[in-house]
Amino acid sequence: MIQVRRIAEGEPLAFEVVIREGKGETYHQVTMAQETCRRLTAGKHTPERCLEAAFRFLLDREPKESILGRFDVTMISRYFPEFERELPRYLSRS
């Protein structure tokens, strides 16, 4: 289960993301510029939905414990160059 909660407005937006899986959970603080969200989602999804999809992408590639505790969403592409190309597939899932 991925829970995304906005914790700060402004630029960039800030979020707390909790991943509950098995017996454990991890906490992550993530920032994302509003323009980045518009670019990644073609303006069709909320920032929260964008981050949920981004975390599903990450969890398909590494355990929750390996995801950084604090990062900006643009860092994902540094570790996974296919991120922006693959994200629309994650956004289209319900």
pLDDT for 19-61, tens place per residue? 998 889 999 999 999 999 999 999 999 999 999 999 999 999 9
Enclosing domain of residue 24: 2-92
Q: Tell me the C-alpha distance between 28 and 45, whole Å.
A: 21
Residue 67's SS3 state is coil
Q: Tell me the C-alpha distance between 6 and 30, whole Å.
A: 9
Q: Using one digit for the tens of pLDDT, what is the confidence trace for 67-77?
A: 999 999 999 99
- Distances from the Cα of 72 to the Cαs of 12, 32, 78, in angstroms? 9, 6, 11
Dihedral (Cα; 85, 35, 30, 83), 10-degree rounding = 10
Tokens of 47: 């920032």
Note if the pTM is more than 0.85. Answer: yes
Assess contact for 57 and 87: CB atoms under 8 A. yes
Q: Tell me the C-alpha distance between 94 and 11, whole Å.
A: 28
Number of domains in the chain: 1
